[in-house]
Structure formats: C-alpha cells, structure tokens
Amino acid sequence: MSSETLIIVVGGDYLAYEICREILKTAGQRVALIWKHEDERAARLLSQTVARLGTDYPHTFAHYNLDPSDTANLREAGLEPPGASEQQPNYCLVAVSQDDRLNLRVALLARDINERARVTIRQFNPVLGHKIQEGLKYNCTAISPAAHAAATYAASAVDRSCFYALPFPTLETLVARVVHRIDRNATEGHAAGGLFGFCERAARDFGIDGMTIEQAEAHVRARVVAVDGGTPYVCHGEEEHPDRALIEAPLAAEARVVVFGPSAHVKGTWPSGEHSRRVEWDLRVGASMRDLRVALRRTEPILRTVFGAGAVLYVLFAIFFASILKFNWLASFYYVLTTMTTVGYGDVTPCHDCAVRPLAFPEVAGMLVAMIAMIVGITLSAVFTATLTSSLNAALVRRTRGIRRIHRSGHVIVCGAGNVGSLVIDYLRELGEDVVVVEKNPDAILTELARDRKVDLLTGDATNDETLAYCNPENAKALIGVTNSDTSNLEVALGARTRTRTHGSGEMHVVLRIDDLAFGASIKRHFGIASFSTTELTAPTIAGLARFESTRGRFSIFPHSEFRRTFQLAERYQGVENSPPPAPPERPGYKVRWIPLYVWREGGTGKGVAVPVHKFDGDVRPGDRLLFMVPLDQFTQYIDHE
C-alpha cells in the first residue's frame, strides 16, 4: 500500500474549506472536495474557494461538483475497495456538512466501499456522535465543533491570556458533561477531568520572573511549555532531550512564557488586582434602595389602598380604646394588635364578667368596636397572605424566567445558551465562577439551574441595552457572546463596552463567537475586540483527525513574533507495550519530536488525576492517557500559507 493518503472532504461551508486548507499544509496527502450547491450565492463562494485552493495546491487538490450521497460519486472522487490497485493510498473521509444525517449516510456509504477507510464526521449532538463512534468502532471519530469550541470560550473569559483550551481527558469528559446536564442530582464535579488551557503572558504576569522553570511550574501548578520560542522539555521517541540551560536559567520579567495546565489554577496567577472590579458598598446600598422604590411603585393600587386603610384604622382603634376604656397608650396599641391579628391573649379585654352583669355604655361600645377590629384584621390578614404568596411566586418566576437587576460583582455574563452556551455555562460553573445568563428561550435544564440558584437567568434579548443593564456589566469580570448570530454578538459586546466606559469601569473583557473569519478579522481591526471562530478552533483539529484519531487540536504559539511555531496537540491511551508517539505512515522509523504535557492516571478508587510529565521513561506508565504536543516544523515539507 502507498504511503500517500487520499482525504475526501464532504461539505460546502467555511468549516469544510478551512479543513481542506489545513490538510493541504502537510505533505503526503491529497484532498478531494465533494459538494454541489444549489444556491447561487453559496455556489459562487464555493467556486471562488475552489479556485484559490487549486491555485495554491495544483497537484494535491481537486473538486468534484457532485452529490456526495451517491456511491458512484464517491468512487469517482477516488475511493476504491481494498485491493483494487497495487499502489492504493490510505483513505480518509471527512464528512462535515451542516446536515448530521447526511454526514452519517456518507460515512456509511464510504465504509460500504472500503471498510478500512478512516471516517471523521461532524455531529451536532456530542452524545449521539459518541454513540456513532462506539457503534462503528474501527477508525472512526465523531466531533461536535460547537462543543469543541466551548472550552476555549469559557477559559479565555476567566483568563484573557488563554488562546486554546480543552477538557482532559477529552472525549470521556465532554460526553460525561453533556449527559449529566440532565441529572439534577449530579454533583458539581460530575466530569471525570477538568478544563485545561494554554496561556501566553510575560513572566512577571505569571509571577514567575526570577524563578527557574522548575520553580515556576511549582508556583503556577502547571507546565511551562515554551519560553521565547524555546522548549525546555522535549522527547525524541523514548529519549529525553531537555534544554538544561533554559531549565536552570532564571526567567526574565519580560520573557514571553506559554503555560499549559488546569484553568482553575492558572487563572489565579495574575498579579493582585488584575481584571478585578471593585464595588463600593454605598453604590450597592443605593442600587438596593432604588430597587425598593421601584418595587413599591409596581405594587397594585388596590393593595396600597387596603394596607393604607388598615394602618389608619389601627391608629383610630387605638385612640378609641385609649379614650373610651381609659387604657394607657401602650396597652391600647397592644390590645388592638392582638385583636386585629386574632391572637387574643385575654390579658387585656374591654370588660370583665361581661356575661353575668349589666354592661355600661363604654363596655358595649368597646365590644362592638373590638368585633369590627377582628373583622378588619381577618380581612387584612387574608390580603397579606395572598400578597405574600403572590410575591414569592413572582420572585421565583423572575429568577427563572424574568428580568431583574443583578447585584453581583466579578461575575461572567453569558449571552446565548444554545449548544455552545450551555457547555460554556457548565465549564464556568466548574471553574467556580458566578454566571449570569441572558437567553430569549431558556430550556428546561437551564431553568432548573436558575431555580436551584446555580446561575442567574434573565429571559430577554441581550442586544437590548436595558436587558444588558440589568446584568450589572460595570462590575462583571467578562462577557461572552455565543448566540448563533455574529452581528448579535457584536451588538452585545459594543453595548456592554459603551455602558462600562460611561460608568468609568474601564475596558470590559469580551469574548465573542464570530463564525465568519473575515468578519472576525474586521471586528478586531476596527473595534479592537478579539473573537474566536468555531471554524477557526475546530478546522485544524478535524484536519488532524482525518489522519490520526488521537488529534485534539492544532495551534501556533507566539503567533505574532519571530518565535512562531505550530504544534499539533494529541492524546493517546498507553497500552501494555507503553510505546512513545508513533511516526506518521510516510516516515516509518522516524523518532518523532514531541513535548509531554500531562497524563491522566486512574486511581485504585476509580477516580483519576492529571499528573504533569516531562519525559517518557519513568513518567509515562501503561494505562495512562498521555496528552502531548508535536511540533510540525520537524516535517520538512510542512508549509504555512497563512
């Protein structure tokens, strides 16, 4: 069999095009894109993209304007049964259309033609994707782009230096999190692992300037991956090749450092006061008083009338009994209160032995007025009970589905609670953040979280400035816009920043989901707001999954400097043989250079723990889940066309 690989990509959106481009950056692979658009505008975009890819990669890219759900068309694209030719390439199918059913259908058709073909499919529901992956068993990976991107949105909100994040161990943690969202009895730490992220800052911003690498890792409780382009810990196959000079030298304050580790640890390493918003108590009290005045104005007029009349009658009854029965003022008010509330202790009465002797006029008048006071008291008690019940119910409804002012500080505002937003909320709760959610149509699970006081839910349109004002953005840590509309996310961000600037709260940290890459670049250029695209975060990962099921991401560190390097992130299970990461098929016997990060090690009680590793021998054991980075510059034919 040839060492060349034919990768057939099915899809006609930005994600499919970016996947093709990412795959074509590496040598030894040909790409065949199969898609046919009926819409004229989409067809024009497809034609323009195909033309650019054809110009950049004339010998390794081809487009077939055909229906991918036809077996004959898959064969025309180059997919053949095993043994059909002597120099048959390795086959991979990447089905990433927006139709989950079509993706599954094409994957099954490809397996009918060649059961050895590797399959990577896009599935909206990560739980269903996991079931499909388990059902096909051999050489198949299902991925949800939205679920994959949610980790980075959450981690970058709590730490603005984070540029890529993932749950570890990846697949098991993600599926467990989605499954347990519907379990109200699940504990807060229901997922097997936690959220891990890559962060780039100056050494002084980590608080590690003047420390050695070993001391720095102990301080941040995470792995130091790179310093100014240098990597302190590198392996060549089983062999360790540490940079001793870099490891032992103290870190300069301005040195650019990339750290990878649990987001819960790394987010707390910013210098004291960074990203915090101080809330003055007088402002809080003033806001509470304003809310009280608003609440009083909103009460029913008839309710105010009834309670006002009750208060007047209470005073008149007290004056009457003090005047007619000669009670002192304290006893008079006490007697009226016990009478109107129907408590009636009997220690103070309008007369004594009333049943066995003639009554004087003051005693008769006192008894008649006392009966009237009882009736008035019962009426007021009924109205008060009904009002209190109604108010408590209204408060519960407002908490779960209403609009109210949020009196929090240091919270994270999440606008949009769809497939991406719901996972972002779960990640933030796992990190111990206070979460305020703005969603037009909250689902039952989100409503339950609000009812259990695990999140603050505001039902409304986040693009409405009044709705956003209720979220107290002046005192928020960050805002995440993850609705399905790029323009809505931008509108939310601009509204929040305008409000925080108006109130003198400084520049608000904003994380946006912008799926259109060109639009995201324009937003950053003109508004200075950085955004993450689901396509940008997921396309490199899917491109890697087309070849290796262990791929968990692809990204660059120090992207805007001379130290820029691109890495592929991978995760693999260490079997009994406990071998290091293997070489690609086109380079048999090659000792791959790789950077160890963490292993997930199961304990005797069935619970696992993430352990940082620096070398292979002695650090990595059979049964571990190994997470590592592979520098792509070691493959000489890798070309970055960006």
Q: Where are the domains of the chain?
A: 1-144, 153-187+196-270+535-642, 285-343+371-401, 406-532
The DSSP result for 585-636, as a single string, is TTSTT---EEEEEEEEEE-TTS-EEEEE-S-STTT--TT-EEEEEEEGGGST
- Pick 255 or 446 by higher pLDDT: 255
CATH number at 285-343+371-401: 1.10.287
Q: Which CATH superfamily is domain 406-532 in?
A: NAD(P)-binding Rossmann-like Domain (3.40.50.720)
pLDDT tens for 616-641 read: 999 999 999 999 999 988 875 444 44
pLDDT tens for 21-42 read: 989 887 778 999 999 988 888 8
Structure confidence at residue 397 (pLDDT):
64
Lowest model confidence (mean pLDDT) among 104-118, 217-231, 367-381? 367-381
- What residues contact 208, with CB distance under 8 A and at least 6 apart? 215, 216, 219, 220, 251, 257
pLDDT tens for 582-625 read: 887 667 788 999 999 999 998 766 678 999 999 999 999 999 99
pLDDT band at 400 (very low <50, low <70, confident <90, very high): low
3-state secondary structure of 80: coil
Lowest model confidence (mean pLDDT) among 7-21, 233-247, 481-495, 501-515? 501-515
Structure confidence at residue 637 (pLDDT):
46
- Pick 460 or 302 by higher pLDDT: 460
- Pick 482 or 321 by higher pLDDT: 482
> Which range has the top average pLDDT, 184-188, 300-304, 608-612?
608-612
Structure confidence at residue 395 (pLDDT):
65
Average pLDDT along the chain: 84
CA torsion through residues 541, 544, 550, 551, sign: negative
Structure confidence at residue 441 (pLDDT):
87
- Pick 203 or 532 by higher pLDDT: 203
How many other C-beta atoms can be found within 10 angstroms of the C-beta atom of residue 587? 14
Place of tokens 């928020």: 476
Q: What is the mean pLDDT of residues 433-439?
A: 93
pLDDT band at 504 (very low <50, low <70, confident <90, very high): low
Structure confidence at residue 604 (pLDDT):
65
Structure confidence at residue 379 (pLDDT):
86
300 pLDDT above the threshold of 70: no
State what percent of residues in the chain have pLDDT above 70: 86
Domains 1-144 and 406-532 share a fold: yes
Structure confidence at residue 187 (pLDDT):
43
Structure confidence at residue 638 (pLDDT):
41
Q: Which CATH superfamily is domain 1-144 in?
A: NAD(P)-binding Rossmann-like Domain (3.40.50.720)
pLDDT tens for 521-544 read: 888 888 888 788 888 888 989 988
Number of H-type helices and E-type strands within the chain: 21, 23
pLDDT band at 2 (very low <50, low <70, confident <90, very high): low
Q: How are beta strands 456-459 and 478-481 bridged, if at all? A: unpaired
